[in-house]
Amino acid sequence: MKMNKLFILLLAVIMIVSTDLSAFAAGEADTPIPISCASRQSTAPISRAKVTGGTVEGIVHDGIASFKGIPFAAPPVGELRWKAPQPVIPWDGIKAASNFAPAPMQDTTFSLSEFSASLRGSQEVSEDCLYLNVWTGARNVNEKRPVMVWIYGGGFGIGMTSTPTYDGANLAKRGVVLVSVAYRVGPMGFLAHPELSAESGIGSGVYGIQDQIAALHWVRENIARFGGDPENVTIFGESAGGYSVSMHAASPSAAGLFHRVISQSGANMGPPPLTLKEAEEMGKAYLEQLGANDIQAARALSAGLIQSATTGIGNFWPVPDNVTVLENQYEAYEEGRFNDTPILIGTNSNEGGMFVRQTFTPAEFVNMVRRQYTSATDEILNAYPHSTDAEATRSAKDLFRESAFAWPTWAWARLHSRNGREKAFTYYFDHRMAASSDGADHAAELPFVFGNLGGIGGRGTSADDPRDRAISELIMSYWVNFARTGDPNLPNLPHWPAFTEADQKAMFFDDEPGARKLPNLDQIKAFDIFFSRIRLTKFN
């Protein structure tokens, strides 16, 4: 694809801006981040910090200190399995924070093309998994740098902080303190059961989301010791991480723990897959097939045995308890009941390409729509071309894009802009590479967000490609400025207008970055009809 001159010019402008931001981060220019005189005189970032539980020591590389494997809760093992996270167990001496902790229990054999490969870090998994990581360039605890807390994706069934794509050094070089948090996935994080609901008094099957909230409490209490500002915290995530971020945006349990929200391909605006009662029955059957007829017996089983009964992703999902996760988040937004912060949210152009791999004939497409979307069959068929095999196959992929990602994101932006005080910004990622001529696949934006192009986890990107570098520089500039101010805009960059119902524009990340109307708005509106009828059936 030929790169136009405007895009080359944009790259040069972004490089200048990013250089200025690097100077800000190092205290070498006037900056909105308060930096003390002592900080300006220091030559090395903070490498040791006293946190909840004890003292940790990180390692410094290229001007950034990284702290890996900091515990933020007690190991959720034994009697703590399937319980809300408990306080950290203190340690003596100085804990070396130089290596990632084991990843949560998960299916390490799962493969979905390059998706799972790009999510892989350390293959070591353990039930003892509640740890987080910090990257900071701060030289002084008083700097009050904006904080960005990353929540990984993986369908709530896989995921780990050690994924190379998620290395936080490049964002930390731009003046933020970057935190990535681990949370329980699969049956360890989201199994519901009547006995577990009775134990908690409110429900069960939401432990992974409670882990994230516990990590946010840790950030509020400890991040200043790394030069971060606990009063300026941005939560951001992708896919299941984006859904998690969306859940926090409406969760009473997460209120006050963050001040900005970035969600990449994830929004919790549709009805939940299962009610609590349905999830409890599924959990009972799951444990019974392992020979455990009650929770006491289940807690005596090995973690490996429990994990072995499920494979892949999508088998477990956060179960609403209306304290941690709301059952009807759409209604809460309609009524103005949500944590009102600035939001920056969006989707990719070919989200469904990774998940829908078979080809469809026109007849097969029509049958699929009539079977799966009975409440709005005509509207959906009218919105999606399907007169040929090629059209039907393309539309099947786009159906997945709208139903799982694009409609929920649009609905979130629309209700937030209508009923919130703070602004909403939306994007459409359509940066195409040789291996993705049909559009940007699910998770394709991740290397660009973190600036980790090429190599392991780069997903076909190249640090030597000026197109890739320009998009990455642009996205990092917007993301960091949003974390700093609640508005992504910077001088000399394409203007990103806030989303409103009257002006529904999104920032396009492609060869000509700029704000334009979404190309799939007609399809999104067809799904708006579908989901409105589903809500009437489910909640009335």
Helices 362-372 and 389-401, interaxial angle, to 10°? 30
- Between the alpha carbon of residue 134 and those of residues 20, 139, 227, 389, 509, the distances in Å are 23, 14, 11, 49, 28
Bridge-partner residues for 125, per DSSP? 103
Among 37, 39, 41, 44, which Cα is nearest to 63's?
44
Looking at residue 527, its pLDDT comes to 98
Looking at residue 42, its pLDDT comes to 60
φ and ψ at residue 260, rounded to 5 degrees: -150, 160
Percent composition of the chain: helix, strand, coil (DSSP 3-state, to 5) = 40, 15, 45
Catalytic residues: 239, 351, 442
Output the CATH code of domain 5-539. 3.40.50.1820
The rounded distance, in Å, linking the Cα atoms of 447 and 509 is: 14
Residue-level length of the chain? 540
Question: For the chain, what are the domain ranges?
Answer: 5-539
| SS3 category, 234 | strand
Structure tokens at 424: 């909403």
Looking at residue 122, its pLDDT comes to 62
Looking at residue 433, its pLDDT comes to 84
Q: How many CB atoms lie within 10 A of CB 112?
A: 16
Looking at residue 121, its pLDDT comes to 60
Q: Are 472 and 12 within 8 A, CB to CB?
A: no
Residue with tokens 């990774």: 354
Structure tokens at 363: 């007849």
The rounded distance, in Å, linking the Cα atoms of 236 and 256 is: 15
Amino acid identity, position 390: A
Residue with tokens 């997945």: 400
Q: How many CB atoms lie within 10 A of CB 79?
A: 10
Quick one: how far is CA 306 from the chain centroid? 26
Q: What angle do CA 410, 416, 421 make, to 5 degrees?
A: 150
Compute the CA torsion angle 272, 269, 166, 190 (nearest 10 deg): -20
Q: What angle do CA 326, 330, 333 make, to 5 degrees?
A: 90
Q: Are 171 and 451 within 8 A, CB to CB?
A: yes
Q: Are 390 and 423 within 8 A, CB to CB?
A: no
Looking at residue 460, its pLDDT comes to 82
Looking at residue 43, its pLDDT comes to 79
Q: Are 481 and 488 within 8 A, CB to CB?
A: yes
Structure tokens at 435: 């291996």
Q: Are 183 and 209 within 8 A, CB to CB?
A: yes
Quote the DSSP letter at residue 402.
I
Ordered mean pLDDT values, 10 residues apiece, the chain (540 residues): 42 39 35 36 86 98 98 98 98 98 90 49 86 98 98 95 96 98 98 98 98 98 98 98 98 98 98 95 97 97 95 90 97 98 98 93 98 97 98 98 98 98 98 85 96 84 93 98 98 96 96 96 98 90
**Cα within 13 Å of Cα(154), Cβ side:** 32
Q: Report the predicted TM-score, pTM, of the whole model to 2 decimal places.
A: 0.92
